[in-house]
Structure 1
């Protein structure tokens, strides 16, 4: 379609890449639903599996362990097979993972979490390849931010729809239904392969050994290395919000699963608006590094604000708190990915993105178990949230001080 152009169209005069954005946004949204349906189902599934609801942290950590593998190997797979084909395989893996996770066996559930992560991990490197080819430099932060709204959109859909499906179908059938939706989208995007799966390199590396190359690329470049450090911390704060908010609200505020899911949905909707706004500001008003520093400070203070939370808070205040927290802690990714794309060496955008995401996902892997440890020691969700807000605040100040 006329809205999409190849990499050679770099003069900033071509139209907004609507088609590329629509395809990548749909993929990002649905793989996010596949991941974020688990925290919403946790209070019900935990009772069925006879584990504490906070154990959802181990499930999410395992998901992102798989995402680490999926993201660092994505560069070679995308170069060899194309971003659409890689995205289709990722969506299919989400179905397989959700089907395994819906079993009654805890080992199979954890294996399913890892497989979901393998499907989720390549989605961002693949979409980055599509968007960079189709987007003028003057709109890159906005375009990446809009595409990355798929993550909170997926969280919002999970928060609003999954509790209703759980009540109607049960959590196992709900998990399988989400997986089937992923497969349907994988089939639906097949016509776009001829447009986006071009210029393939059949000699591109695709082994696990080659996965070290994107990580080394990041470690050797000072700008990319700094982005990786920031994303390690920011990713950890983001996952604490997404993973534990529903359980926090049901256990500490005695909210119903449906109402707690709606509060989570509000946090994700706010982050959708935030991602777009932060993208516009990063393109028009601030340097992207400055924008990321401000967001780090915002999410740090939001996490610390949980220390003031109490069961006496009115419901509307919970929604406001969740919206502010979500807009910062879940709203930084698009600006971050645009900055990574800017800092990447020529022809290495997928590799740089995958390498940086390795560290993002590493933060997401180690944070839930650490959160559980703080929770066990303090018996306080606010204390645990605050413990991970302090590093985000520090990173935000550092990014501003070292511009």
Structure 2
């Protein structure tokens, strides 16, 4: 239980940091004299750093321990936020990269710890509970950062989040002795290389299949959360305030979904079939979003957004638990590091591709239609893997 609480707190703090600057994007754009869409490039650079950080975590976590790796990640995130508050474009992008380098080890570290301390019967639920830290961090960012910025300025708001990251790293220190146990001995033959976790994932077909599906699912998830407000405003004529409130239904459903799907997977459906079911539900929602009339009722729209959020945001915990379950003994962090690097590539590529398709077609409906293609592939692949696993 202590490991779950700590990893949840670290995940929420790191997620809050990643989303801090987007919460004050208009003010940042005014200060820099650039468009607020600069935040899209900032996030892309951050996730490029996260890819590298995830790969590095593959060897760092087993050797240093999950808590020490998380502390290092949080301190790097804090340093990245300090640079991000500089109001100088080059330094801010460097800060985004450093922030991403710190964000990358967070998930592999937590998987390493939870795989050692969780009961196999409840692993999907425990991992899903930990993963609620991502939307909880988003809620914290949306509540805290604009409030501090309004009372001071956006740079002070970013600084407050940096202090929170450093404080979380300090609070974790007394717990390290009891949780960072069974550390791997240093490799006297030399480092296996930063790409070793990626090669280990790619060499095993079940892990490779899961990782590819996570890439596509993450692209769908971030495209949904990035463009929902714009879609509702541009295609359905909703005000920005109303669209924002409707979009929050997605996030809330994602929190509930992460817990609920973890329970479903543990209760007998299994991880692969649960993930396939979520892909099927996301596929149905993307088709409905493509075809729904502009006159759709508010109730039907909220049901659609809730279902879409529960499926497209709720898959992460089940996926991470299955990775940890399939990883060799003591290698959950390494395998998660390699797989997370693939997952983050979907985050980097998904929203720009969604935006490009929508821009070329003149409608965000085309973007949602595009999401159906990778979802179809994932559903077929996951059901096939589930049948093969049972056989």
**TM-score, normalised on structure 1?**
0.86
> Paired residue for 1:9?
none
Q: 1:8 — aligned with what?
A: none
Secondary structure of the 1:388 match is helix
Q: Which residue of 2 aligns with 1:107?
A: 90
CA RMSD of aligned residues (A): 2.7
Q: Is the 8 A contact 1:90 1:120 kept in 2?
A: yes
Residue of structure 2 in register with 1:267 after alignment: 250
Give, in whole Å, the separation in 2 of the partners of 1:304 and 1:44.
36
Residue aligning to 1:30:
13
Map of 1:382 onto structure 2: 365
Query: Any idea what SS the aligned residue of 2:52 has?
Result: helix
Alignment size in residue pairs: 385
Question: Does the C-alpha gap of structure 1 residues 294 and 143 become closer, same or farther in structure 2, counting only changes over 3 Å?
Answer: same
* Aligned residue in 2 for 1:5: none
**Structure 1 residues 345, 202: closer, same or farther in 2, change over 3 A?**
closer
Structure-to-structure mapping, 1:318-337, within 5 angstroms:
319-337=302-320
Identify the residue that residue 241 of structure 1 maps to in structure 2: 224
The answer as to whether partners of 1:61 and 1:368 remain within 8 angstroms in 2 is no
Deviations 1:227-270 (A, max 9, x none): 0110010011112123333455566656346x655444432221
- Whether 2:99 is the aligned partner of 1:116: answer yes
Q: How does 1:366-381 map to 2 (within 5 A)?
A: 366-381=349-364
Shift of 1:104: 2.5
- 1:255 pairs with 2:259: no
More displaced stretch, 73-82 vs 158-167:
158-167
Q: Quick one: distance in 2 between partners of 1:372 and 1:205?
A: 48
Unaligned runs of 5+ residues in structure 2 are: 387-391
SS at match of 2:107: helix
SS in 2 for 1:223: helix
1:155 pairs with 2:138: yes
> Do structure 1's residue 83 and structure 2's residue 83 form an aligned pair?
no
Q: Matched residue of 1:211: which SS?
A: coil
Deviates more, 1:297-306 or 1:58-67: 297-306
Asked if residue 56 in structure 1 is aligned to residue 22 in structure 2, the reply is no
Mapped partners of 1:146, 1:153: distance in 2: 11
For the structure 1 residues 332 and 381, does the alpha-carbon distance in structure 2 shift closer, same or farther, using more than 3 Å as the test?
same
Report the 3-state secondary structure (helix = DSSP H, G, I; strand = E; otherwise coil) of the residue aligned with 1:285: helix
Cα distance in 2 for partners of 1:317, 1:48 equals 40
Q: CA deviation at 1:32?
A: 0.9
1:396/1:302 Cα in 2 relative to 1: closer, same or farther (>3 Å)?
same
CA distance in 2, matches of 1:207, 1:107: 35
Which residue of 2 is the match for residue 226 of structure 1?
A: 209
Question: 1:202: Cα distance to partner?
Answer: 4.7
Is the CA contact 2:80–2:96 (under 8 Å) kept in the aligned structure 1?
Answer: yes
Deviation digits for residues 2-32 of structure 1 (CA, Å, limit 9, x no counterpart):
xxxxxxxxxxxxxxxx211100000111111
2:389 equivalent in structure 1: none
**Counterparts in 2 of 1:385 and 1:94: CA distance versus 1, 3 Å:** farther
Cα distance in 1 between the residues matched to 2:247 and 2:69: 30
The aligned counterpart of 2:260 is 277
TM superposition shift of 1:223: 0.5
Provide the rounded CA distance (Å) in 2 between the counterparts of 1:254 and 1:163: 23
Q: CA deviation at 1:384?
A: 2.1
Alpha-carbon distance change, 380 to 283 in structure 1, aligned in 2, over 3 angstroms: same
1:131 matched to 2:147: no
CA distance in 1: counterparts of 2:16 and 2:216, whole angstroms: 23
Cα distance change, pair 156–392 in 1 and its aligned pair in 2 (3 A): farther
1:358 aligns with 2:341: yes
Deviation at 1:177, TM superposition (A): 1.8
Deviation at 1:46, TM superposition (A): 3.7
Cα offset, 1:40, TM superposition: 3.5
Secondary structure in structure 2 of the residue aligned to 1:86:
helix
Distance 2:210 2:276 in 1: 11
Alpha-carbon distance, 1:291 to partner: 0.5
Change (3 A) 1:126 1:402: closer
User: Conserved in 2, the CA contact under 8 Å of 1:156 and 1:264?
Assistant: no
Unpaired runs of 5+ in structure 1? 1-17
